[in-house]
Structure 1
Amino acid sequence: MGDGATRPTDYDSALLQLEREVERGTVAAPPSDSTIGRWQRQAEQLLASLHETTIPGRNRLVRKAERFLSSLEELRERKARYLARRKDINQAATYEPTLSLSPLPATFARQQLSASILEALSEAEYTATQLRQDQTDPVAPSPTIEPPTALPIPIDSSEAKQPPNPVATEERPTSIHSADPSTPPPQKKRAPFVPTHPSLSRRTDPIIAVEGRLAKPDSFEAARSIALAWLTKHGFEPPPDRTTDFELRTKKGHTANAVTLPDLGLWAIQAETADSALEGRRWRVEMVLLNAQPTPAVSVTLTAISPGGSPQPPTSIPTLVTRLAQEIGLRDTDDGALFTAGPTRISDFASLGRALVALRSPKRNRPILVLSTYLKDEQLKTFMDPKGLADKLGGLAQVFVLDREMVWSFNEEVGRKAAVSGATIRFFRPGFTSDDEPGRHPVWSPTELNTQGLNLLGLSGILLQEAAYQSLRALERDDATPAFDQVREMVLRRQIEEARRKAEIAASHRASGDEVASLQDELASEIDLRKLFEEDNTNLHADLEEARSERNASRDERDTLRGRVMFLESRVQKLMGQLREKTGAVEPEFPDNWEDLEDWCNEYLGDRIVLTRKAVRAAQDSHFEDIEYAYRVLWLLAEEYVPARRSGGESYKESLKKMGLEITPTGRSAHQHRSKNTYQTDYKNERVTLELHVTGSNDRDPRFGFRIYFHWHERDQCMVIGSMPEHLDNELS
């Protein structure tokens, strides 16, 4: 009778083990026919045994086994479909033939926005010069009304290509808009330049930069309307005439400026708003819009201007960018990628081909995020909400969703090191190749979130920060879009030329002395203003270039070293796993004493679990009675928990539950001053915090209560155990 009472649990356990094995063995790539055959034989043996016995719940178990066998048949059919389509697509060396069946949207001329602006402004200056030459009387001007001797300053190509500041630097106020918000608005049409002062230190942190083309033709006015509506929402009152320059200030101290060249289709704005959370911080949004062909070009940047020594500003995307992406759409100027308000589904080989072309494109400068679709509780799910993620990253990254039928094909193309499967999301940085070292394109799963103490909202924040950083690196190119100040300075050059032309015309027609003096005063004022801009810009550009070079060199070196270490560690783990597969995971004998603990762990747990000297001493000094149970838990963690942490998944939870265990964070005690030393241990010359613990019995009697306190080491992909098997003191002790 006793045997009959345990058999249902045995059958349940065997079927559950088979289901978990199938889940692990099919999520990233198709299993071999021999593996499917082995699963089928095991299930058929269980089913035959069930037919020969009479136990409670037999009919339920029979149905469960039959459903499992049916799922194996579906798996075979799915694999057959995959192999048939793979054969077809592999007849071509690349995905271009597939793409021709479903072509990409119309491509754009690879003309950079910056080149267009510089060309337009150069044309403007040239036109003004020609008008001056054409309309000037050949007779020499009178000495009494001769214009100033200052010569026109031509557009210098190296200066014109200076990008906006992509790194945080200490600098000083450069315009009246940086001064006290209570300063009354300027009386002149254009605000005078305020000299810098060393005591007014501030830090400039670029946050995001979006550069590209609008997705729809003839959308210049629509984009300008969106920008003006955005200004109105922030308390500004733009003038009705959209073709005039303006300078605005609100009662809250917000400022906005616009410059325009209507005949050339150029319009640019700069708006600064005060931060309500940190006194002295201002947020600067710049937008440059050019009515180019085949669609208008646009650039939007967000910068935080903070007092020196203030905290790092948070990452965010202006609603101006979000509305442009949602209502018009944005296209990357280099590779034509479309950024709209939603994700892109990969549901067939045509869409898979487009995604792979985008992923591998050497011209790509924005990240790509890929989520896989997986089956859970007979429902298709994704790790995160693709629509919400695409909305949050609008204009900064592309979001792709892999249909379940396309996961194997995608992983085969990108390689095992960049695979996306199950409940995961992978962040592909620009410049992807299948030979990239592990870690260059990070992946997240529920297990990883639990370890980092993150939720999905926190993860989306991390993804936003990564995407924002990539957008700033794109602006470091030589062909980056000019900043608003540079555009305004170049517009001033045209105005100077206009003033010079008027002065010369007046001189050639012997205008009155008052008129000439007025024109010369206007010209001198414009030239002085330009000189002040140029002097300050020259100093700032030199400092920024040096800081940018140092920052990039350090980050590149760090990324390379981190990727190399992760590659070597993963290689060691792979070899150790292959060794364990060959030798077999045969359950060892579990000692009944603590003296053998260290040697036993070294022999059977390998690199998966590291037992520190602190943990060994804690065990040898403990009063815990069921010593064999502690060894058995260590074996379970090494066989199921560690592999799951390394590859993703949560299959270990069921095994822990059967032994009355679960893994949870240690809580605030690990960080409080009174107890944090207790929750720390030494590992490879570093001090690590035991932020997780395996919880068993909560009995406060040390003979029966059970805990294993550990740290998951991300670099070495192993458990570092700092204390076992008794409870540590916490804030409730």
Structure 2
Amino acid sequence: MSFEIGGELPFQSAIREAIKWMRERNPAIPTSALEGEAFEVGGGGVAPAQSIVLNFESGRVWAASLDDPDKTIAGRTWVTEITVGEQAGRVLFGARLINVTLRTDDPFVPSLPGVARQVVERLPSRADRTSLSERARRVNTSQELDDMIDLLDDESRRLPVVVIADKVSRPVFSQPNSLARRLAGAAHVIALGADAARGLIRRWGKPLSVYDGAARLYRPGFRSDRSDPYEHPLWIPRNGSTSGGRADLVVSRVLAESVTTARRDDYPRFNVIRQAAAAREIAARRATATDTDLSRLFEEENQRLTDELRKVRQEFDQWLDDSEVSRRELERRVAEIGAELARARAQNDHLRAALASGQPPKQREPLRDLREFGTWAEDNLSTNIWVAPKAVKETEKNGVFDNPVLLGEALFMLDDFYVSMRREPGPGRRLAYESRLSELNCSDQPCFSIRNQIKSFPQYSVTYNFERLWCDQHIKYGSGTDPRRFFRIYYHWHDADQVLLIGHMPTHLDNNLTN
């Protein structure tokens, strides 16, 4: 991400803000760095840090790098690269946040480099000839709507625009100011008033507009006269989903695209600037330095290059691994969506055929054989329920509960009662769900009483649509140690997709209480 800095002494001011942020994470960084002096801090601080200054005929560049080990995930390091460049009277600020993990990585919600948010908050910042802010820009009047349309239709626009419409009949998808803070410097965030939203519909029609609490991502390159609406995602809030979960969805999409669509000429990587500065130093000292001095300089530079190459290789290996995992996960997800679509179409065909013939719809079959659970689930559960492949495998391989019909009824209960209660909350639907639980002698309980304790038990996790999620609730029937007499269904409610995810069943998962 990169943007322009204004105000008084913007080059020096941006460096000072960057160093203040870095010193909070590594107090060993010298105070002289606040004035733009180069430094290198190794093991003396919490995290290795360094900076370099490169002066040239038409401008100057200051660049820094900070390695910050993750406080919770062993082997993961967050590398923040910061660049401040000045040329032809303009000052640009750029930052990258790189995840380097020396093992199989855990999924995470992307985030901005914190230093970028601090700079936007404290210094005049602009992109696409528009001021950047940690607060969403309000659009209410006709003139403000005209200005927003000009920004969206600007062919030279570099940053995406997230527009969130005021609620009318449903809750707002995400709080605009909260989202603006999380995307400060990476996107323009606009809060669109109800009247302005109606004006947008009158100009563009509904397919390209955003309205009634919804949010839309207008990517760079959007043109209102020819863009495909499906290339600019529209998110509509659904009952039962949370604002925080919906905000994670938008942030993940925007920041992921900021990596895949970054322009090569935005600004160079830290190692490129450091190598250019080292080459200039060697060239400047070649005329006066002794052979011994030059030999020492070359040895130092060779060692730096060797260390840098090792680091770049680690990052490259990580990117390759992440790319392969993403490719495989995307292929799996496409196949899964195709299967879900075929399943939904088959169920719809059965209903249409029943209506056309005047016959009652096909009745769902009881679950009679756990060894055939996967086929039964595909034929009898709706697309409101997603059963993880590992849960299917566990049920078919290790499931010995002696009343499969009851287990199937519990799944029908989740499909018929729980999903509708989450999608359209209300006392009547909750009472219906709780009554059915009671009829089946089941209970619905949290898996852990202490927040985040579940993350110490990876067997409770499930990967769905590129996300690692936690099955924090479970349906419980029976007790004891004989798996023929009890079952468990561990699940997670997915806010964004409004789907119940089953990560494990029917056997018991250990926890700190083992109940």
TM tier, smaller: 0.5 to 0.7
Q: How far apart in 2 are the matches of 1:232 and 1:715? A: 38
Which of the residues 223, 246, 250 maps onto 2:14? Answer: 223
Q: How far apart in 1 are the matches of 2:328 and 2:75? A: 35
The equivalent residue for 2:394 is none
- Report SS of the residue matched to 2:296: helix
Shift of 1:224: 1.9
The equivalent residue for 2:181 is 391
Correspondence 1:343 to 2:133: no
Which of the residues 86, 90, 97 maps onto 1:295? Answer: 90
Letter paired with 1:483: R
Q: How far apart in 2 are the matches of 1:621 and 1:540? A: 55
Change (3 A) 1:222 1:662: farther
- Report SS of the residue matched to 2:240: helix
The equivalent residue for 1:498 is 284
Q: What does residue range 412-451 of structure 1 map to in structure 2 within 5 Å?
A: 413=204, 415-416=206-207, 420-426=210-216, 433-436=227-230, 443-449=236-242
Deviates most, 345-354 or 661-670: 661-670
Q: How far apart in 2 are the matches of 1:471 and 1:528? A: 38
Letter paired with 1:492: A
Q: How far apart in 2 are the matches of 1:692 and 1:404? A: 41
Instruction: Please identify which structure carries the higher strand content.
Output: 2
Q: How far apart in 1 are the matches of 2:409 and 2:414? A: 18
- Report SS of the residue matched to 1:296: strand
Letter paired with 1:227: A
Shift of 1:492: 0.9
- Report SS of the residue matched to 2:53: strand
The equivalent residue for 1:473 is 260
The equivalent residue for 1:400 is 190
- Report SS of the residue matched to 2:96: strand
Q: CA RMSD in A?
A: 6.1
Q: How far apart in 1 are the matches of 2:337 and 2:23? A: 50
Change (3 A) 1:564 1:479: farther
The equivalent residue for 2:299 is 528
Change (3 A) 1:222 1:473: same
Letter paired with 2:17: I
Change (3 A) 1:544 1:568: same
The equivalent residue for 2:446 is 668
- Report SS of the residue matched to 1:478: coil
Shift of 1:289: 0.9
- Percent pairwise identity: 16
Shift of 1:223: 1.1
- Report SS of the residue matched to 2:31: coil
Change (3 A) 1:349 1:282: same
Which of the residues 153, 164, 169 maps onto 1:371? Answer: 164
Shift of 1:388: 2.5
Q: How far apart in 1 are the matches of 2:365 and 2:38? A: 77
Q: Describe the superposition over 1:590-639 as per-residue Cα deviations: whole angstroms up to 9, x where unpaired.
A: 9xxxx96769xxxxx997879x9x999449999xxxxxxxx9x999979x
Q: How far apart in 2 are the matches of 1:551 and 1:620? A: 38
Shift of 1:385: 3.0
Q: How far apart in 1 are the matches of 2:45 and 2:417? A: 59
Shift of 1:291: 1.6
Shift of 1:495: 0.8
Letter paired with 1:301: R
Q: How far apart in 2 are the matches of 1:690 and 1:253? A: 34
Q: Describe the superposition over 1:59-107 as per-residue Cα deviations: whole angstroms up to 9, x where unpaired.
A: xxxxxxxxxxxxxxxxxxxxxxxxxxxxxxxxxxxxxxxxxxxxxxxxx
Change (3 A) 1:526 1:390: same
Q: What does residue range 505-584 of structure 1 map to in structure 2 within 5 Å?
A: 519-534=290-305, 548=319, 555=326
On the 8 A contact 1:280/1:306 being kept in 2, the answer is yes
Shift of 1:287: 1.6
The equivalent residue for 1:489 is 275
Letter paired with 1:214: I
Letter paired with 2:137: T
The equivalent residue for 2:484 is none
Q: Which 5+ residue runs of structure 1 have no aligned equivalent?
A: 1-209, 450-455, 504-517, 600-604, 623-630, 673-688, 694-707, 722-730
Change (3 A) 1:530 1:428: same
Say which one has the larger Rg.
Answer: 1
Shift of 1:457: 4.1
Q: What does residue range 326-365 of structure 1 map to in structure 2 within 5 Å?
A: 326-332=121-127, 335-336=128-129, 338-356=131-149, 358-359=151-152
Q: How far apart in 2 are the matches of 1:709 and 1:536? A: 46
On the 8 A contact 1:499/1:519 being kept in 2, the answer is no
TM-score (norm. length: structure 1): 0.45
Shift of 1:324: 0.7
Q: How far apart in 2 are the matches of 1:215 and 1:403? A: 30
Letter paired with 1:245: A
The equivalent residue for 1:143 is none
Shift of 1:409: 4.5
Correspondence 1:245 to 2:18: no
Q: How far apart in 1 are the matches of 2:269 and 2:78? A: 15
On the 8 A contact 1:663/1:692 being kept in 2, the answer is no
Correspondence 1:324 to 2:119: yes
- Report SS of the residue matched to 1:528: helix
Change (3 A) 1:318 1:709: closer
Q: What does residue range 102-117 of structure 1 map to in structure 2 within 5 Å?
A: none
Change (3 A) 1:447 1:566: farther
Letter paired with 1:219: P
Q: How far apart in 1 are the matches of 2:256 and 2:69? A: 23
On the 8 A contact 2:447/2:474 being kept in 1, the answer is no
Q: How far apart in 1 are the matches of 2:215 and 2:195? A: 17
Q: How far apart in 2 are the matches of 1:556 and 1:356? A: 36
- Report SS of the residue matched to 2:185: coil
- Report SS of the residue matched to 2:241: helix
Q: Which 5+ residue runs of structure 2 have no aligned equivalent?
A: 367-379, 388-400, 438-442, 449-453, 455-470, 476-488, 503-512
- Report SS of the residue matched to 1:479: coil
Change (3 A) 1:462 1:710: closer
On the 8 A contact 1:271/1:286 being kept in 2, the answer is yes
Letter paired with 2:32: P
The equivalent residue for 1:213 is 4
Question: How many residue pairs get matched?
Answer: 439
Change (3 A) 1:462 1:720: closer
TM-score (norm. length: structure 2): 0.61
Change (3 A) 1:323 1:537: closer
The equivalent residue for 2:467 is none
